[in-house]
Amino acid sequence: MATLEIRDLHVSVGDGSDGAKEILRGVDLTVKAGETHAIMGPNGSGKSTLAYAVAGHPKYEVTSGSVTLDGEDVLAMSVDERARAGLFLAMQYPVEVPGVSVSNFLRSAVTAVRGEAPKLREFSKEMKAAMDALSIDPAFAQRSLNEGFSGGEKKRHEILQLEMLKPKVAVLDETDSGLDVDALKVVSEGVNRFASGDTGVLLITHYTRILRYVKPDFVHVFAGGRVVAEGGPELADELENEGYEKYVKAGASL
Ligand SMILES: Nc1ncnc2c1ncn2[C@@H]1O[C@H](COP(=O)(O)OP(=O)(O)O)[C@@H](O)[C@H]1O
Ligand SMILES: [Mg+2]
């Protein structure tokens, strides 16, 4: 059983004139295979910073604490090694790459994760099956990566990657902007599909909207760079009705 463990994680960002700023102030979180966790919190509470730190983004410096996947030190791994170990990290703002098709990109990603290039014919078959399963138009495979993608297409691509890469743990930063109803449904169906399997899902979100479609097993409220409350799906309902206000105060006073 795969387990992602985050222990007392402290992360700082920026080396500008006013020095590094501590954003994460002791995050503890455990995500096991087959579980869906939602991290919810106000803007600026450090949710994306958590995703970037786990992804190994160079701007985010881990000053203390640990991140392990099945006991292996994730923080000591390169970005590629993290992917190979079974971590999938979907970025909030994917980069447009004209001239590189979705299909080419996926083959590179699959090669990086599996450690060897899949045979072209087998890969094509596999990709076609994955796209069928997700009701994605076959023409999508030839589109330029992220170029002019709608919100829904970005999300379809994200879920297609999940299907092809079969990670142990997926971290999806689904923040606010650009998630129309179409995109929401794609993400929800995808997450629900993976959540019923062996993948552990960490779904990061600001709005409670998506949780009408995805039922997380655990909800963690994030404020001031740490988890300030935890519960089951009922906590998401409470947040939908009452907002984050009381948690922001709790986060500030810690
Ligand atoms: N690359 C960065 N450079 C400087 N400050 C950053 C950077 N990334 C995040 N921050 C700051 O860290 C805090 C948390 O941001 P973020 O993790 O994006 O929060 P959230 O995703 O919860 O909205 C904010 O105050 C933000 O300005
Ligand atoms: Mg964010």
All structural domains of the chain, each given as residue ranges with its CATH number in brackets, are 3-94+167-253 (3.40.50.300)
Separation CA 158–CA 64 (nearest Å):
30
Separation CA 254–CA 252 (nearest Å):
6
Residue list, CB under 5 A from ion ligand 2:
47-48, 175
Separation CA 180–CA 135 (nearest Å):
18
Q: Are 42 and 224 in contact (CB under 8 A)?
A: no
State the CB neighbour count (10 A cutoff) for residue 102. 26
Q: What pLDDT sits at residue 211?
A: 82
Q: What pLDDT sits at residue 175?
A: 59
Give the pLDDT confidence of 141-172 residue by residue, as tens digits: 999 988 888 878 888 888 899 999 999 999 99
Residue 93: which pLDDT band, with cuts at 50, 70 and 90?
Answer: low
Separation CA 2–CA 86 (nearest Å):
9
pLDDT at 12 over 70: yes
Helix or strand (DSSP H, E) at 238:
helix 233-242
pLDDT at 242 over 60: yes
Q: Does 46 sit in the ligand 1 pocket, CB within 6 Å? A: yes
* Residue to probe by mutation, ligand 1, list 9, 13, 21, most atoms within 8 Å of CB: 13
Q: What pLDDT sits at residue 139?
A: 94
Instruction: For tokens 């030190």, name the residue.
Output: 73
Q: What is the pTM of this model?
A: 0.90
State the CB neighbour count (10 A cutoff) for residue 15. 11
Q: Does 13 sit in the ligand 1 pocket, CB within 6 Å? A: yes
Rounded to 5°, the CA angle 213-56-3 comes to 55
